[in-house]
Chain A
């Protein structure tokens, strides 16, 4: 039960003073309005980046629709304000607001953040501050007036860096657990008739821990031994020892937005999107998504087609995309693609099939896909040699790659992109050179093929090689791996960059090594990491994923101030307890240990 119905933030008269005011007004096609007086729970879904970025996340549309489907909940949205808006809020002494009704976020019952990437942590801290809400749950617990802070999303598989901030985490799929959580809260708040008292809040949180995937970090106090995490002390005996992630078994029955919000301003993507399956069965050892989203659950072909068609009718989009970790692994991919093409005339709609493996489709289907407007085609060999691909368990051989690219070129694709990673466990100079060799051989091979076929207009073939920096992630076999130092990563990247200069037809891209290093520090952090985050925010760090805003020097100072060494590996010993062991993502730790041993034994 919200405390303050009349908590409007008078932002309107300032809107002409900021860039792209459309970011802050809501009012989009399919956005939902409810009467404050008729709802019991007000929820603000916050995305810690700009509107244009957040609105392109399908996850945000799922949560928004899921919550608003509940008659007694009104879910609104907030985004990180751009710099001009933040300055305005600070100088006019105005709090952060929901874009849907310009309501003060403090008037919400829940403030929910989605944790998509570690680089958004500073924005989360900054948004909480802009909202005028005390950062730590312990500080908020002294008063009754603040919203409950909840987080979900992939980064929650190590919630510890933000554990002192959030009242609750929802680990895993939200579709079943979140509505149940709303119901528990609503029942308690109706009974209480006003804002929950401190005792009622505590009782609510205790009841919430009975739901799958709900973690209440304040109930668990970490105990450190010799400077490393050792175990948690539980506040109540009946609390679970580990939090089992929430899993939606039947995607066809699960909520999926059929009337997504259509932004009024241009965003990263404006297109109909159907998630075709969740999870990935491939088990690449570095891949967090591959482990934490298990098991693989597919949506039926009919349901996918229904979603796409309804979304197109309700949005007027002219682009369709399929969402999953690896499109080509959809069991019925050929039939799905054929039927999609059957129903969507290509004069009208463009179809993009990301991460599609070409060897999963027959020649004739490929030709038909080729008739659509072609976006770039991507391959992810990840490593330059077969040895390292075996270590990381990437099931792709050189033959796959050559055949795949050949097929693509034959049906008219002219742009292909390869993804690689550097800094992985057991990597040697040979593996780094292997990246260059592979790219060189592929582009030479295609040049020969094109010369032989002499087809006009198909003479241009463009290969892009994109190299990213390996970051060891929690809940993967590589969580014990030594991350490369910033210097090591930089040296490897520049070595490759130099080499690739000789290949005229190949474009070489690489990622900011300093930013990857900070990601590494945050990904395997524990509760003490928050001190570094706070110190970074105090120094003005925010929008860390935006190159122009990233300040490495400030980060190094922040870690130093927090007493966190950037030179030691956080948790290198597979037999030692890990702070994120509390999260049970369904994979046995022993299995991860075995995978880690197998990977490092491949080493020659």
Chain B
């Protein structure tokens, strides 16, 4: 039995890492008597994973936890919903993390969610900026956008063309003077942090950017 639990990660929980959060989920499931299945072998580990890591400090509207269990541990209410289970789990979770939906995974789908996901959408709020949409459009019309990117294999920062990884990039100015940048980026096998794109754009426009003042939220993970 495989389940997919959709959750949001907000507030202070943004500072809890991928691995730490997986451990929190494991404990909360155990508190409610739900048990994930364990892998076999010398050092068995629970079959529970979060689809896509989220950088420390980012919040998210929709993340996915994938859990496999030996026996079905979710009972539906009379309307066929898993809602009561979510309520019980949410009552135990730390503030900032809440399950928003739960699905049974199609048994034929053998790939994990993390192998399936192809893109993600982000929202970045920058205080006190004035950006014209047209500048962004022009920026995006280039064939090449060079940015420093950490290379997975070597762990080193290298200059790469990130343009193929950017699917969309837009901005909206809010009345309080801040700008909300929305982007859709490749995720999964090929990944790029939205802050790399934003920094590259600001550098190109000759504007200063203090990334510690930017709040980043993932709004969507896209599967084919």
Give me the interface of A with B, judged by CB distance under 8 Å.
12-17, 21-22, 24-29, 31, 262, 264-266, 313-318, 348
User: Interface-forming stretch among B19-27, B60-68, B106-114?
Assistant: B19-27
Contact A29 B16 (CB under 8 A): no
Closest 7 CB pairs of A and B: A316-B27, A316-B30, A16-B57, A21-B15, A316-B31, A25-B12, A27-B12
Contact A313 B23 (CB under 8 A): no
**Pick the contact of B28 from A14, A29, A266 — CB < 8 Å?**
A29
A21-B56, A315-B31, A316-B27 as given contacts; A28 in contact with B20, CB under 8 Å: no
A13-B212, A16-B56 as given contacts; A266 in contact with B26, CB under 8 Å: no
Which residues of A lie under 8 Å from residue B160 when comparing CB positions? none
Interface membership of B47, Cβ < 8 A: no
**Pick the contact of B94 from A13, A27, A313, A317 — CB < 8 Å?**
A27
| Min C-beta distance of A101 to chain B, whole Å | 11
Please measure, in the bound complex, the distance between the C-alpha atom of A348 and the C-alpha atom of B38, giving whole angstroms: 11
Closest to A17 in B: B212
Which residues of B lie under 8 Å from residue A27 when comparing CB positions? 11-13, 94-96
Given A29-B27, A318-B30, 6 new contacts (CB under 8 A): A13-B213, A15-B15, A26-B12, A29-B92, A264-B24, A314-B31
Contact B17 A317 (CB under 8 A): no
**Pick the contact of B17 from A22, A25, A314, A318 — CB < 8 Å?**
A22
**Pick the contact of A25 from B15, B24, B31, B213 — CB < 8 Å?**
B15
Closest to B33 in A: A313
Closest to A266 in B: B20
Please measure, in the bound complex, the distance between the C-alpha atom of A359 and the C-alpha atom of B17, giving whole angstroms: 45
| Min C-beta distance of B32 to chain A, whole Å | 8
Closest to B216 in A: A16
Closest to B96 in A: A27
Please measure, in the bound complex, the distance between the C-alpha atom of A314 and the C-alpha atom of B23, giving whole angstroms: 15
Give me the interface of B with A, judged by CB distance under 8 Å.
11-13, 15-17, 20-21, 23-24, 26-31, 35, 56-57, 92-96, 212-213
Which residues of B lie under 8 Å from residue A25 when comparing CB positions? 12, 15-16
Contact B12 A14 (CB under 8 A): no
| Min C-beta distance of B53 to chain A, whole Å | 15
Please measure, in the bound complex, the distance between the C-alpha atom of A26 and the C-alpha atom of B95, giving whole angstroms: 10
| Min C-beta distance of A463 to chain B, whole Å | 24
A25-B12, A264-B20, A266-B23 as given contacts; A14 in contact with B212, CB under 8 Å: yes
| A-B residue pairs in contact (CB < 8 Å), sample of 25 | A12-B12, A15-B57, A16-B15, A16-B57, A22-B17, A25-B12, A27-B11, A27-B13, A27-B94, A27-B95, A27-B96, A28-B94, A29-B24, A29-B93, A31-B94, A262-B24, A264-B13, A264-B20, A264-B21, A264-B24, A265-B20, A313-B31, A315-B27, A316-B28, A316-B30
Closest to A18 in B: B15
Please measure, in the bound complex, the distance between the C-alpha atom of A16 and the C-alpha atom of B15, giving whole angstroms: 7
| Min C-beta distance of B49 to chain A, whole Å | 17
Which residues of B lie under 8 Å from residue A15 when comparing CB positions? 15, 57
Please measure, in the bound complex, the distance between the C-alpha atom of A264 and the C-alpha atom of B19, giving whole angstroms: 10
Please measure, in the bound complex, the distance between the C-alpha atom of A322 and the C-alpha atom of B11, giving whole angstroms: 36
Which residues of A lie under 8 Å from residue B11 when comparing CB positions? 27
Please measure, in the bound complex, the distance between the C-alpha atom of A24 and the C-alpha atom of B12, giving whole angstroms: 10
Which residues of B lie under 8 Å from residue A16 when comparing CB positions? 15, 56-57, 212
Please measure, in the bound complex, the distance between the C-alpha atom of A521 and the C-alpha atom of B114, giving whole angstroms: 56
Please measure, in the bound complex, the distance between the C-alpha atom of A196 and the C-alpha atom of B42, giving whole angstroms: 62
Which residues of A lie under 8 Å from residue B24 when comparing CB positions? 29, 262, 264
Which residues of A lie under 8 Å from residue B31 when comparing CB positions? 313-316
| Min C-beta distance of B94 to chain A, whole Å | 5
Closest to A25 in B: B12
Please measure, in the bound complex, the distance between the C-alpha atom of A262 and the C-alpha atom of B31, giving whole angstroms: 12
Which residues of A lie under 8 Å from residue B23 when comparing CB positions? 266
Which residues of A lie under 8 Å from residue B94 when comparing CB positions? 27-29, 31, 264
| Min C-beta distance of B213 to chain A, whole Å | 7
Please measure, in the bound complex, the distance between the C-alpha atom of A21 and the C-alpha atom of B212, giving whole angstroms: 14
| Min C-beta distance of A266 to chain B, whole Å | 7
Closest to B11 in A: A27
Please measure, in the bound complex, the distance between the C-alpha atom of A31 and the C-alpha atom of B24, giving whole angstroms: 14
Please measure, in the bound complex, the distance between the C-alpha atom of A266 and the C-alpha atom of B92, giving whole angstroms: 19
Which residues of B lie under 8 Å from residue A315 when comparing CB positions? 27, 31
| Min C-beta distance of A349 to chain B, whole Å | 10
Which residues of A lie under 8 Å from residue B27 when comparing CB positions? 29, 262, 315-317
Contact B212 A316 (CB under 8 A): no
Closest to A21 in B: B15
Please measure, in the bound complex, the distance between the C-alpha atom of A12 and the C-alpha atom of B212, giving whole angstroms: 10
Residue of B13, B15, B27, B95 ringed by the most chain A CB atoms within 10 A: B15
Please measure, in the bound complex, the distance between the C-alpha atom of A314 and the C-alpha atom of B27, giving whole angstroms: 9
Please measure, in the bound complex, the distance between the C-alpha atom of A299 and the C-alpha atom of B96, giving whole angstroms: 38
Closest to A28 in B: B94
Which residues of B lie under 8 Å from residue A17 when comparing CB positions? 212
Contact A316 B26 (CB under 8 A): yes
Please measure, in the bound complex, the distance between the C-alpha atom of A266 and the C-alpha atom of B18, giving whole angstroms: 12
Please measure, in the bound complex, the distance between the C-alpha atom of A567 and the C-alpha atom of B55, giving whole angstroms: 54
A13-B212, A27-B94, A29-B92 as given contacts; A22 in contact with B15, CB under 8 Å: yes
Please measure, in the bound complex, the distance between the C-alpha atom of A12 and the C-alpha atom of B15, giving whole angstroms: 10
Closest to B13 in A: A27
Closest to A349 in B: B30
Closest to B19 in A: A266
Please measure, in the bound complex, the distance between the C-alpha atom of A25 and the C-alpha atom of B95, giving whole angstroms: 11
Closest to B92 in A: A29
Which residues of B lie under 8 Å from residue A31 when comparing CB positions? 94
| Min C-beta distance of B63 to chain A, whole Å | 16
Which residues of B lie under 8 Å from residue A13 when comparing CB positions? 212-213
Which residues of A lie under 8 Å from residue B57 when comparing CB positions? 15-16, 21
Which residues of B lie under 8 Å from residue A28 when comparing CB positions? 94
| Min C-beta distance of A330 to chain B, whole Å | 27
| Min C-beta distance of A351 to chain B, whole Å | 16
Please measure, in the bound complex, the distance between the C-alpha atom of A386 and the C-alpha atom of B32, giving whole angstroms: 53
Please measure, in the bound complex, the distance between the C-alpha atom of A25 and the C-alpha atom of B20, giving whole angstroms: 14
Residue of A13, A17, A22, A317 ringed by the most chain B CB atoms within 10 A: A22
Which residues of A lie under 8 Å from residue B96 when comparing CB positions? 27
Please measure, in the bound complex, the distance between the C-alpha atom of A315 and the C-alpha atom of B57, giving whole angstroms: 25
Which residues of A lie under 8 Å from residue B56 when comparing CB positions? 16, 21
| Min C-beta distance of B125 to chain A, whole Å | 13
Please measure, in the bound complex, the distance between the C-alpha atom of A13 and the C-alpha atom of B210, giving whole angstroms: 11
**Pick the contact of B29 from A12, A265, A316 — CB < 8 Å?**
A316
| Min C-beta distance of B121 to chain A, whole Å | 21
